[in-house]
Amino acid sequence: MASQNTPANAKRLLQALIDRGNPVAPENRVTQVVAADMGLNESEIRAAIKYATAQGWLESAKFGHTKGWLSITPAGKAAAESE
């Protein structure tokens, strides 16, 4: 079950990826590096990723070498900027 902080954590996640200058990243890097930088534990970051994906803010990257990577959608960028 997602906490009530999950939507805010999802937006923070999107903004953190944008701030890194690369809106496409391997999911394991997101769960390890970005989550640690944000001060989230693994279950919180996984819930944020799941929420962002369900909202259409993140999707699986669609190029050959990026299997297991996440990409911010235009809707995700707009959501991050709405903070």
Over pLDDT 90: what percentage of the chain? 27
Domain extents for the chain? Answer: 6-81
**No. of H helices and E strands in the chain?**
5, 3
Angle, nearest 10°, between helix axes 6-19 and 42-54? 90
CATH topology for 6-81?
Arc Repressor Mutant, subunit A (1.10.10)
pTM of the model: 0.82
| Model pLDDT for residues 47-68, shown as the tens digit of each residue | 999 999 999 999 887 766 667 7
pLDDT of residue 47: 92
| Kind and range of the H or E run holding 6 | helix 6-19
Between strands 24-26 and 69-72, the pairing is: antiparallel
Res. 23: pLDDT tops 80: no
Q: Chain-wide mean pLDDT for the chain? A: 83
pLDDT of residue 39: 85
